[in-house]
Structure 1
Amino acid sequence: MTNPLLAPWNTPFELPPFAEIEDAHFAPAFDAALTEGRAKIAEIAGNPDAPTFANTIEALELGDETLGRVLGTFYGIAGADSNEAREALQREFAPKLSAYSSELTMNRDIRARIKALWEDQNALDDEQKRLLYLYNRNFIRSGADLEGDARDRLTDVKARLAILGTDFTQNLLADEREWFMELGADDLGGLPDFLKEAMKGAAEEQNVDGHVVTLSRSLIVPFLQFSTRRDLREVAYKAWAARGANGGETDNRGIAAETLALRHERAQLLGYKDFAAYKLETEMAGNADNVRDLLMQVWKPARAAALKDQAVLEAMMREDGINGDLQAWDWHHYSERRRKAEHDLDEAELKPYLQLEKMIEASFDCANRLFGLEFAPLDVPMYHEDVRAWEVTRNGKHIAVFIGDYFARGSKRSGAWCMAMRAQKKLGGDTAPHVVNVCNFAKPAPGAAALLSFDDARTLFHEFGHALHQMLSDVRYEAISGTSVARDFVELPSQLYEHWLSVPEVLSKYAVHAETGEAMPKELLDRLLAAQTYDMGFSTVEYVASALVDLAFHEGAPADDVMAKQAEVLEGIGMPAAIEMRHRTPQFAHVFSGDGYSSGYYSYMWSEVMDADAFEAFEEAGDPFDAKLAKSLEENILSAGGSQEADVLYKAFRGRMPDATALLKGRGLYAAE
């Protein structure tokens, strides 16, 4: 029988034929794609003609098209709708992919051809020179110039790291999927109706009568906010904090320690003092000192603000007759009550105005007003019944397919992310991207509206900002397409787009009550916007602490005991006792599920320095939808991908590089400095 992953896709916009694809198709398609890729590598390496950009670099760009198609489909599905078969395939594919990558980057003949091109670039245009630079750098950083035992050892290290990253992710998913806490009628004190409905739906998914709390962020965070049962909050919080550290087969602490040791060895094999030096060499920050300077510049006022808030929350706890220190499972609860008291802002009052459907419409409308994009629903098969798709056009021209997968389920890993199942490129014919946003919002009861918190709505806009970076990409080569940029630059478009959610005219149009259809009252809108920096000390502290631990993990000799190292770093910076890291080490998937954000979790804040400054440009223009600025943003950043260095792209848009002042002001921390 024909494997649908390998046959031509005669589907609308060449989308994967999800209805025809079965798990059994992936392994043979993957093996066939690897065989094809290896044949093309051999063809390029053995080409008797003198190396040219076309017969070497462009040939490499086109050599993995089948593999890219298979993997784009597989990992898109496996991350958002996992099962035992797909998890087994991930474990099988990880070392094979690592080996394939090493075969390419360690190929001496191809390395020689790239060196020859590097020495004579006169005939190349700017985009070709940029791509050649990136290929040359990637081969060097992958160990292409190593010899003997060091060369062989590096290949083994990379293969083992690929396995460890997959194991880390699957262990975390297993812990999140397996834990839940049943709640009886007496356990629902303080919980608003929207949360009870969501917990009832979660109970049905677990085949339990009544209500359950799971480790989905969309359930556990509001439970911690609203539950009046301190004992149950403690149980739920400790389960959330213990993910990946419960002992047994799913414990991630040993995996984290081995990962750090192997990364350090990898860096030293390549001539770097440690992994942070290796990783940060290609980022805007450049080195660990620059990262630490930014983080500590923000840490000091954030910690001061958090400690002031902690004193207020502890006083509230005393009024409830509870002695002892404020604990991590208390913070969300008392902070929510304080927000209600000080800002007259109640999550239960706010949520009916933040319907998922309306927030999707809002994100689309902003993209239309800024960039002229239009979105039309598509009736096409997807990989899960909850997933939807839209055709994206501009002036009648097809731009992309956008796919939205918004609801939490047991088969989906936690968090939110954006990926391109197919990236934009022009080499080999214009290819429009297929871009997916994945979130974990609580699924409503049948017929009811899906309601979001303001943080949920911000997440939706954030991921859609990444999607715009992919959809508006306009480059020749896939290797520099869309989000293929420095890690500490990639969050700029996503975090910048969050700002449009807070534009009053956007909320006044799309924040519509789910039952009455009435727009959010102006006084409620004003209260919402006034409270945007509320509890910012807490959120900044939990983030910066995670970023500092990540950095410390990758500087110097690796830690044998990762939890002891985590504790050492937190003690050294004076971490408030009532606040935990946003991502404790055993569940720090950003850092340990792969190399993406290792030594790079600071990237969100580095990008925030730019996004705060970039949105100031629109504020200075007096119009959040200023057409000239929107055009400049698209041309210089969103469409440019990695075609130039990140600082060059940013300065082309803004005229200069920013400092942290706008960030501190935006977080309400400037006065606390």
Structure 2
Amino acid sequence: MTSNPFFEPSALAYRLPPFAEIGEEHYLPAFECGMVEQLAEIAAITSGADDPTFADTVVELERSGDLLTRVANVFFNIAASDSSAGTDAIEAEISPKLAAHRDAIYLDPALFARIESLYRRRDELGLDAEELRLLEQYRIRFVRAGARLDAAGQVRLRELNAELAAAATEFGQNNLAATNAATVVLDTAGELAGLGPVGVAAAAENARSLGHPGAWALSLQNFSNQSVLAELADRDVRRRVMTASLGRGLGQDGRNGHVAVRIAALRAERAALLGYSDHAAYAVQDQTAKTPEAVEEMLGRLVPPAVANAEREAGELMTAMLTTDSQDSDADLRSWDWQFWSEKVRAERFSVDAESLRPYLELDRVLRDGVFFAAEQAYGITVRERDDLVGYHPEVRVFEVFDVDGSALGLFLGDFFARPSKRGGAWMNELVSQSRLLEAQPVVVNNLNIVKPPAGEPALLTWDNVRTLFHEFGHALHGLFSDVRYPFFSGTEVPRDFVEFPSQVNEMWMARPEILANYAKHIDTGEPMPAALVERMAAAERFGEGFRTVEYLGAALLDWTWHRAPAAEALAGVDAETFEEEALRKAGLAMETIPPRYRTAYFAHIFSGGYAAGYYSYIWSEVLDADTVEWFNDGAASTRAKGEAFRRELLSRGGSVDPLEAFASFRGRAPEIGPLLVRRGLAD
């Protein structure tokens, strides 16, 4: 193929990919050409002078693979956000090839020899701090990728990496198919009692789009406790929704339970081959946690008080159930009851219910007058929509971001609505990473899964939707504010247990009085959310902290247990459901009423994403987040001054400095866990 939109850098603003020109037929040729091109670039490096220099080895390594990066950034975003049978087939074919390509680079003995030579002479090279860190990080990456293994070990490592890449793709595609297949289709509107008019209309439109005209369809999101459970009054419908959610990919016909066991076994074998006791030990070595013991100490400290809080909450919910007129023969609190009765208790105790908040939380207003406005107040940036630029799907919106001095900073793409072709959850991708070396400005994407309203109707959000908008834009800011020389360090290229920190900090703005007052306005009247409702909402937020912490810890410790398996043999013949049950029991989290946020078969973070043995990172990062929010709120300086310091010392630095040193540079000390314990109600 001689004509391919990937073969040359995009001529559009900020090198935005020319989506209008890209077809599925372009991906495989661009991948194949990109891999060939990068290997030729690597060969040129290794055939250079015997006495390597930083410029002819490390810098050229950073410059290599431009075409491959262009196509991979676009394709894997599409594969997650707008997949098709064609992209599924391409992903299944290309993933093992990309794993083999990566191995061809990191297991190249001549290339590693040059890196090793530079590393031994690092003190003589006159490198600045960023250059020295780049050299050190490359050496670590080569060693962790198996550069020191003997020939037989490298052969087996290549096989394992190819198998893992294929299995992760299989898991992700199975998960999307299982989630779509588990959609709950209802025959009558009466079964949706409790759901607001917008929700009922959206369910009818969803059913129509899925080929069930005249019915109502509740599609699942990629976590256990579906948001709709808080509203559905029909207990049997709630049971059906929860059963469908928890059963995805498991059972007699469930494929992902088997795939998960296979992935865990392959990772255990790879860790042993590389000299580690288990995959968790391998995963955390280059994170800020450093050791499995540090992770286990923190998680273990949180479990008992979290469970105690959750048990107290369960007692309150049970009391509420028993004082109603319900004649249900099953009077026990079940997992499908928790969210519903939590809302009832919140409504009674705090006079707040989810439906009463929605009219104040319209998507466009939350986005412009909340998310963007908060960034303007903290960092001085402005955001303007670019209707002349085209995204990869008709629903994708493109925004240009300007710095405080009016200079162009980058592009932000927002893809907000759920659709059958999009995987569940919410995430940020980079289509173009910032780099002064490559003269590239950032182009970043936020993907969410907000239920799309019927045509002509406003998109009214839940409070959780609002939190997700702010959270994901925190990731976007991390990419947009990046100001580094080398792409290796750009934006969110930081340790996994640090990457959630900036996005969690960005959640703080959603409830700040001056921000909330700017966006929380009634869709019909324009009246601001009443101050009394704001106060009650803040109090209601604290109710249910036990549930949220136990739900999260269940998933974190389930992930951890899968990846503490000492050898592949330990997982031979394991049944995923049995393993999961035993893991939760040993962790002290086997609460039938609170399933883990993700069960094994739809735990995409760890089996088809990058969070294997790393889901703990959300609460590890929250230690930094809670401490930082306390700093922002201490009144020692203005919000704008604090925002500038946070951006300068941390957000702009990417991975070019040690993350905890970056934290200390603006906080003045190492992080402390106290603020997190207070926030989660665990201080006592």
- The alignment's TM-score, normalised by the length of structure 1, stands at 0.97
> Which of 582, 603, 607 does residue 568 from structure 1 map onto?
582
Match of 2:655 in 1: 642
Counterparts in 2 of 1:256-271, with a 5 A limit?
Answer: 256-271=260-275
Contact preservation (8 Å) 1:307, 1:576: no
SS of equivalent to 2:384: strand
Q: In 2 relative to 1, CA 471–382 (structure 1 residues): closer, same or farther, beyond 3 Å?
A: same
Counterparts in 2 of 1:406-555, with a 5 A limit?
Answer: 406-428=416-438, 430-555=439-564
Match of 2:596 in 1: 581
Alignment partner of 1:593 is 2:602: no
Counterparts in 2 of 1:384-399, with a 5 A limit?
Answer: 384-394=393-403, 395-399=405-409
Match of 1:137 in 2: 140
Q: Aligned partners of 2:537, 2:614: CA distance in 1, in Å?
A: 32
Counterparts in 2 of 1:342-381, with a 5 A limit?
Answer: 342-361=349-368, 362-379=370-387, 380-381=389-390
Unaligned runs of 5+ in 1: none
Q: Aligned partners of 1:126, 1:106: CA distance in 2, in Å?
A: 27
**Partner amino acid for 1:599?**
A
Match of 1:198 in 2: 202
Q: In 2 relative to 1, CA 309–155 (structure 1 residues): closer, same or farther, beyond 3 Å?
A: same
Encode CA deviations 1:72-98: one digit per residue, 9 max, x unaligned.
111111110000000111111100000
SS of equivalent to 2:596: coil
Q: Aligned partners of 1:88, 1:610: CA distance in 2, in Å?
A: 41
- The alignment's TM-score, normalised by the length of structure 2, stands at 0.95
Match of 1:284 in 2: 288
Encode CA deviations 1:254-290: one digit per residue, 9 max, x unaligned.
1111111111111111111111111111111111111
Is the deviation greater in 393-402 or in 101-110? 393-402
> Which of 146, 149, 156 does residue 146 from structure 1 map onto?
149
Q: In 2 relative to 1, CA 449–407 (structure 1 residues): closer, same or farther, beyond 3 Å?
A: same
Contact preservation (8 Å) 1:419, 1:436: yes
Match of 2:673 in 1: 660
Contact preservation (8 Å) 1:347, 1:453: yes
Q: How far apart are 1:327 and its partner, in Å?
A: 1.0
Contact preservation (8 Å) 2:250, 2:577: no
Q: Aligned partners of 1:645, 1:345: CA distance in 2, in Å?
A: 43
Match of 2:69 in 1: 68
Q: How far apart are 1:49 and its partner, in Å?
A: 4.8
Match of 1:29 in 2: 30
Q: Aligned partners of 1:7, 1:132: CA distance in 2, in Å?
A: 29
Q: How far apart are 1:50 and its partner, in Å?
A: 2.1
Q: Aligned partners of 2:276, 2:9: CA distance in 1, in Å?
A: 45
Match of 2:297 in 1: 293
Match of 1:337 in 2: 344
SS of equivalent to 1:621: coil
Contact preservation (8 Å) 1:82, 1:411: yes
**Partner amino acid for 1:134?**
Q
Q: How far apart are 1:219 and its partner, in Å?
A: 12
Match of 2:255 in 1: 251
> Which of 168, 172, 187 does residue 169 from structure 1 map onto?
172
Counterparts in 2 of 1:7-22, with a 5 A limit?
Answer: 7-22=8-23
Encode CA deviations 1:359-393: one digit per residue, 9 max, x unaligned.
11111111111111111111211111110010111
Match of 2:90 in 1: 89
SS of equivalent to 1:47: coil
**Partner amino acid for 1:403?**
L
Q: Aligned partners of 1:125, 1:586: CA distance in 2, in Å?
A: 46
Q: In 2 relative to 1, CA 45–408 (structure 1 residues): closer, same or farther, beyond 3 Å?
A: same
Q: Aligned partners of 1:586, 1:481: CA distance in 2, in Å?
A: 32
Alignment partner of 1:239 is 2:239: no
**Partner amino acid for 2:425?**
G
**Partner amino acid for 2:646?**
L
Q: How far apart are 1:553 and its partner, in Å?
A: 1.5
Encode CA deviations 1:454-477: one digit per residue, 9 max, x unaligned.
111001100000000000000000
Match of 1:612 in 2: 626
Contact preservation (8 Å) 1:306, 1:537: yes
Alignment partner of 1:326 is 2:333: yes
Is the deviation greater in 100-109 or in 41-50? 41-50
Q: How far apart are 1:441 and its partner, in Å?
A: 0.3
Contact preservation (8 Å) 1:199, 1:219: no
Q: How far apart are 1:621 and its partner, in Å?
A: 1.8
Q: How far apart are 1:622 and its partner, in Å?
A: 6.0
Q: In 2 relative to 1, CA 300–218 (structure 1 residues): closer, same or farther, beyond 3 Å?
A: closer
Q: Aligned partners of 2:450, 2:440: CA distance in 1, in Å?
A: 31
Contact preservation (8 Å) 2:19, 2:391: yes
**Partner amino acid for 1:312?**
E
**Partner amino acid for 1:581?**
P
Is the deviation greater in 16-25 or in 312-321? 312-321
Is the deviation greater in 374-383 or in 96-105? 374-383
Q: How far apart are 1:43 and its partner, in Å?
A: 1.0
Match of 2:117 in 1: 116
Deviating above 4 A after TM superposition, structure 1's stretches of 4 or more consecutive aligned residues are 217-220
Q: How far apart are 1:246 and its partner, in Å?
A: 4.6
Contact preservation (8 Å) 2:380, 2:640: no
Q: In 2 relative to 1, CA 479–404 (structure 1 residues): closer, same or farther, beyond 3 Å?
A: same
SS of equivalent to 2:453: coil
Q: How far apart are 1:570 and its partner, in Å?
A: 1.3
Q: How far apart are 1:554 and its partner, in Å?
A: 1.4
Contact preservation (8 Å) 2:226, 2:245: no
Encode CA deviations 1:397-426: one digit per residue, 9 max, x unaligned.
111100000000000000000010111101
**Partner amino acid for 2:312?**
K
Q: Aligned partners of 2:294, 2:210: CA distance in 1, in Å?
A: 47
Q: Aligned partners of 1:277, 1:98: CA distance in 2, in Å?
A: 22
SS of equivalent to 1:399: strand
SS of equivalent to 1:283: coil
Count of equivalent residues: 667
SS of equivalent to 1:639: helix
Encode CA deviations 1:576-630: one digit per residue, 9 max, x unaligned.
2211000001111111114x2111100000000110000101111266x523221
Contact preservation (8 Å) 2:182, 2:248: no
Q: How far apart are 1:13 and its partner, in Å?
A: 2.5
Encode CA deviations 1:517-540: one digit per residue, 9 max, x unaligned.
111111111111222212111011
Counterparts in 2 of 1:223-234, with a 5 A limit?
Answer: 223-234=228-239
Q: Aligned partners of 1:21, 1:389: CA distance in 2, in Å?
A: 17
Q: Aligned partners of 1:629, 1:375: CA distance in 2, in Å?
A: 20
Q: How far apart are 1:506 and its partner, in Å?
A: 0.8
